[in-house]
Structure formats: C-alpha cells, structure tokens
A and B are shown apart, each in its own frame.
Chain A
Amino acid sequence: MKKSVAAREKKVSGKTGTQTSQESIRSTPISRMAALGGTGAKVGINYLKYYGKRALAGGSDRSLEIHARELDEENASTIYDTFSKLKGGPLKLAQMLSIDRNLLPRAYADQFVKAQYSVPPLSYPLVVRTFRRDFGKEPLDLFETFGREAAHGASIGQVHKASRKGKDYAVKVQYPGVAESLKSDLRVVKPIALRVLGLRERDIDQYFREVETRLLEETDYTMELERSLHLTEASGHLDNIRFPKYYPEFSSRHVLTMEWIKGQPLDKFADGEASQADRDLIGQALWDFYSHQVHDLNLFHADPHPGNFLVKDGVLCVLDFGCTKQITREFYRKQFRFLDPNLPENPQLLEEALRDLDVILPIDRPGEILQIMTLCRTWLDLLALPFRSGSFDFGDPGFLKSIYDMGEENRKADHLRTMKGQRGSPDTIYVNRAFFGLYSLLGRLRSRVKVSLPDWLK
C-alpha cells in the first residue's frame, strides 16, 4: 500500500513539473472540472485543508496548535488575494457558502461566514418563549430538569441537557427566524460574491441553489427529525454503530429532542491514545455506515465532521442529521460508475461516463476532451485508490497529502478564470463533500479499513 501511494505522489508531482502539460491544462477553460465532475471537489479540498493538514501534522497537540494557527494566519493574509485569483470558480462560491461550520481555517471562515451564519447563544427566556410558541408549554412543564445554560452549540442553535423519569435528553433549540435571516444573508452575499469572484450568475445558479437548499433544510427540524428516524431505522443493522433515540413528542419546528449520549468526541478519540485495533474498528464502522447510505440508500449524512460523532465503548454514535443529501438512483449510477476499475483504462467508457455527467459537453473539441479525460484519470487514480485493493490504510499521510496537493495545484491554476457552459451536476457537491469528509476523518483516525466495491461494479 505504501508503495502505491508513494508511486502516486511521484506521478502527481511529476505532472506538476512538466511545464508543457501544465500550461496546456491551464489554458483549457474546462479543465477546472478536474475532479469527478466538479464543484464539490473544491469544497472537499477545504475539508482536507483543515482536517487533512491536522492529520498530517500528527504528533503532539502543540504541533497541531501551531499548525492550525499557521493555517489561519496564512489564510487571513491571503484571503483577498485568493479570492481575486479565483475568478471563474463557481466552485468557490459553492464552497464559500458551504463553509458554515468551521470547515475552513478559522480566519478564512470568519471573514465570510461567521458573521453570516453563526448565531449567538439563546438566552434562557428565549428558549422558554420558543417552547411556549411550539408546545404551548414551558421546558419545565415537559421535563423534570432543564439546563438553563446550553450544554453546547449547534450550527443554528444550541443544545440543552434535560431529564425526565431518570432519562437524559439532548434538546436542540433553534434561533428564531434563522431560516429567514439565512435567506436574506444569501441574497446579500450572492451579488457580492458574484462581483468579487467575477462570475456570471447563470454559471453558478444551479450550484448556488443546491447549497441554499441544503442550508435551508438544516433549519427545518421537522424534516431533520423525519430523516433522522428514517436513516436510523435503515442503518440500525450495521455493526458498531448506534444512533440516539429521537423523541417526536418533544420535537417541533424549532426544537429537536434526542437521547443524551455520553461519549468521547471523535476528534478527541482520534487525537488520543486509542489502540490501532480500536481505530480500525471505529474507522470501519464509519466506512460501512457511509457505504450503506450512499450505495444502498442513496441518502446520506453529508456533513462528516468530527463534531457530529461520538465514540462510546468501541461504538460510533452518529449525532446530527441536519445536513443530508438524497440522490436519485440514476444520478447515483452515473456518479459511481467512476469507481469501475475498467473505466480509467478504457477511453471509450471514460468519455461516455464523463458525457453522462455533463462534464464533457457536446460543444467540446477533441483536444479539450482529451485534456479532461487525462485530468480525470489522474484524479481517479488517486481518489479511487482505497477501492482498488480490498483494504486501505488511511493512516498513510501520503494519501491525504497527495489529494491536498492536487487540489491546491488546481486551485492556484489560472485556468479557472473562464469556462463555457455549466458542467457537472450540482448533486456532486455533497457527494464529494461527504467523501472528502470521510477520507479526512479516516485519515485523522489513522484507520485501516476493509473496502469493497458495491456489488453492481464487481
């Protein structure tokens, strides 16, 4: 395994060094569709940029801290620079809009997002008001105890600990009017982003709408409850994974109540002293959970960041289904066809797959098609690597680093500036976000995972 990653790295950096090939890639407007069809790759890269680099830093907390700070400072200073360079990246807008929760280095996120989407803590009287509004009752009418201070924050609200008849509950309460302020924030952000990034509205419209839809879904606790119940039931048979119980009777539009689970946050577990066997166990549970959701259910938890998971007695607990993504069977087939081991070797099949996903458009000339395919092959060799050999060691820092470097290389390239037509599907954003998130979580966990292709690709 080590060997193949090393070889991969070599190949990637070799490519960077080849001036002519890079030039030609740069000058191609469409080569920005470098990843499996696009936008989401960029979104994912930023997951990696933060979590991946952390994983690479390895070692002591101190070095992690230093690393995080470096990352922040680096970004704070280059932020304007970056943005002015990234003209043409409809990807960037999507990315910018999807960094609603610390996916990016903090200094970066602060500039664009924190002011927009993070909400201050709710006062206790406001929590009471929200309960009265939704249940006609106060928290203490429903529960025997109810913590006045929030136990911790949630993306658009906060979590209170409550108890009743000897059971503990986690009660998520949403800030009032958050959906509306989100909408108006987006309305404000959109034209600014378009201008700063030098984008045409019609080019990014579908990405924008996709991100907006997901963000708004997160504000709908009624929907989150339904999805949580559904995914919990449909994934209940998996090993070493559990879900909190949900309580519809104590849930409403602004309140979502679930079982209180005491466990170790996944990032603490990953950065702690856990044995390799435990790391493999948790990593496998995570991998199996995602495989099941994506390949069997076509509905998945699209926000794999450490805050959404706890580890308790060797079992992985999945806490938050705020951001889920449903894909159609048809799209699923188009997208995951790229995992077919025969695809990279067969130009005809590859071209067909890329056309199916609208990455290659009818307007493209043969030269452009060839470039897209070359780029796609390079990405596939890297991203599909875990699927190639039955098991994979995500603890190998070379793997994440290669993805990260490749993303950076693409990000810095000037060719992002122009493009013709909308390419790829907006559905790809969250598929990629989920996979990049998953890869970086597993990297941080340093797990060795058994991987198999879905049956239809075997």
Chain B
Amino acid sequence: MPTKLSKNSKTGQKKDYRTMISEAYMATLRREGRAPSSTHRLCEDLGIAETDFYAAFPNLNAVEKYFWKNWIESIIEAVSSGKEWTSFSAKERYLAFLFAFTGEALEQRSLLEQRFGKLTLLCSPSSLDGLKNSFKDFAGDLIHHGIEKGEIASRGAIGNFYPEVLYIHWRSVLEYFLKDESRGFEQTDAFVEKTVEFAFDLLRTQAIDSAADLARFLLPQIAHFGGKS
C-alpha cells in the first residue's frame, strides 16, 4: 500500500492512510498479542506524522473498530454478490454468510483468537461496535426477507430482537470455531449447519410465542415465590 500513497490525490491519500494504519495496528495485535500502546508509537513505527493519523482516525480504538467493520462488510459484500444469492431463502442466505465467514476466519484465525479468544459470548467491547452494527443491518435485511417469503413468523416487537439474537449466534459460531480441534475445522461447519437449522425451525413456528407466553406466566410467580423464601 505505501507505494501507492505518493501517487494518490488528497482524499485517496486519506483513505490509504486508514488502510495503512489499520494494517499496522492489526499486525502489532497479531504479533505481540496486544494493541499498539500509543498513537505516538504507532506513528513512529509507520514513519508518519501524528497529524496524518488524526486526520484518519480520532483515536486508537477507532482504528480497530474500522478494521472489524470493514472485515465483516467485505464478507457480506462477497457473499451477497454471489450468483445464486437472489434465489436463496433467508436461511440459505444466513448459511451462505456463515460459511463464507468460516472460510475467511481461517485466514484471520490468530487475530480472532487475540481479540475474541477471551471474550464471553455476550461481552461486546466498543471496538466491535462497527462490526456489530453492520452485522445487525445485514441480519435485519435477512429477517425482513424471511418474513416476506413466509419463512419466518412475524411477531411485531419480539421480531426487533432477532438481529440481536443472530449476532449472539454468530458470536457462538466464532467461539466454537476458536475451540474447534477437528481437521480443517470441519466441525465448525457442522455446528453452523445444525444450529441454523434449529434456529430457523424456531423462527418458523410459534415456539417462541409460546415460550414468551409461558415466561410471562411464570416469571411473576417465580418472583413471588422467590420473595417468600
């Protein structure tokens, strides 16, 4: 990338600084197991002025946010431009995305281990905000597509949580992948296949409604009995 730098226009330069900085940042994370300690240090290593850095990013955290967001978006972009995408059902789209993801994740495995290896499933640091938002946009479109095709039952307010649920599912796939010890991480593919099958079975039927109804019925009572004891 740096060779291109001198040739580019000012806006282009800014963009390439972003790429260059995020690559250097991730390289440090990958190599040393931690993010660069300061902006100053990063700029020194890269041989750029701090003003160039701040023209590209407001702070170090934003660099990482940018990287992950870009990463997930490139996967979504690649998979949704596939030949058969438009004819896919919501389930097939989600599966296609996850399999594209497990394919890509192979290339970034050590980085993913650094960043996600120690995170619990529900813990989402701010550096992942961009990724999460992009994912949820994608998931929202997916759900919408599924509801339109009658593949997913529409449930008003509950439905708003679907993208969040899929996000947690995606994180569980990632966690499974990081712990997978099978040859070529084949078991992750099986995990994806089976969990998505199950999830869409739930989304299709009234199971969630019944569960919500049951919870509404039971929760006050549990609280009641809990208070007593």
> Interface centre among B83, B91, B184, B194, by most A CB within 10 Å?
B184
Residues of A within 8 Å of B183, CB to CB, are 180
Indicate which residue in A124, A132, A140, A176 contacts B190 across the interface (CB closer than 8 Å).
A176
- Is there contact, CB below 8 Å, between A180 and B95? no
Whole-angstrom distance between the Cβ of B166 and the nearest chain A Cβ: 15
Residues of chain B touching chain A, judged by Cβ–Cβ distance below 8 Å, are: 82-84, 88, 91-92, 95-96, 98-99, 102-103, 182-184, 186-187, 189-190, 192-194, 196-197
Given A120-B197, A123-B197, A124-B92, answer yes or no on A177-B190 (Cβ-Cβ < 8 Å). Answer: yes
Is there contact, CB below 8 Å, between B189 and A129? yes
With A120-B197, A123-B95, A125-B95 as known contacts, state yes or no: A181 contacts B190, CB within 8 Å.
yes
Task: Check A133/B190 contact, CB under 8 A, given A123-B95, A125-B96, A180-B182.
Answer: no
A180→B82 CA distance, assembly (Å) = 31
Residues in B with CB closer than 8 Å to A176 are: 186-187, 189-190, 193
Contacts of A120 in B (CB 8 A): 193-194, 197
Mostly helix, strand, loop or mixed at chain B's interface? helix
1/0 per position for A125-158, CB-CB distance to B under 8 A? 1101110110000101000000000000000000
Question: Given A126-B99, A129-B102, A140-B83: A177 and B197 within 8 A (CB)?
Answer: no
Chain B hits for A128, CB < 8 A: 96, 99
When A and B form their complex, what is the total count of cross-chain residue pairs whose Cβ atoms lie within 8 Å? 54
Tell me the interface secondary structure of chain A in the complex. Answer: helix
A175 interface residue (CB < 8 Å to B): yes
What residues of A have a CB within 8 angstroms of the CB of B95 in the complex? Answer: 123, 125-126
A68 at the interface (CB under 8 A from B): no
Whether A123 touches B92, Cβ cut-off 8 Å, given contacts A128-B99, A180-B182, A180-B183, is yes
A107 part of interface (Cβ distance < 8 Å): no
Complex contact A125–B182 (CB within 8 A): no
- What residues on A are CB-neighbors of B184 within 8 Å? 133
Contact indicator A126/B189 (Cβ below 8 Å): yes
Which residues of the other chain, B, contact A130 by a CB distance below 8 angstroms? 189
Shortest C-beta distance, B221 to chain A (Å), equals: 36
Q: B103 is contacted by which of A124, A132, A180 (Cβ under 8 Å)?
A: A132
* Docked complex: A84-141 residues within 8 A CB-CB of B: 120, 122-126, 128-130, 132-133, 138, 140
- Contacts beyond the supplied A123-B95, A123-B193, A177-B187: 4 A-B pairs with Cβ under 8 Å: A120-B194, A120-B197, A125-B88, A177-B190
Contacts of B197 in A (CB 8 A): 120, 123
Q: A126, B103: Cβ atoms under 8 Å?
A: no
Q: Is the CB of A177 within 8 A of B103?
A: no
- Shortest CB distance A202–B (Å): 30
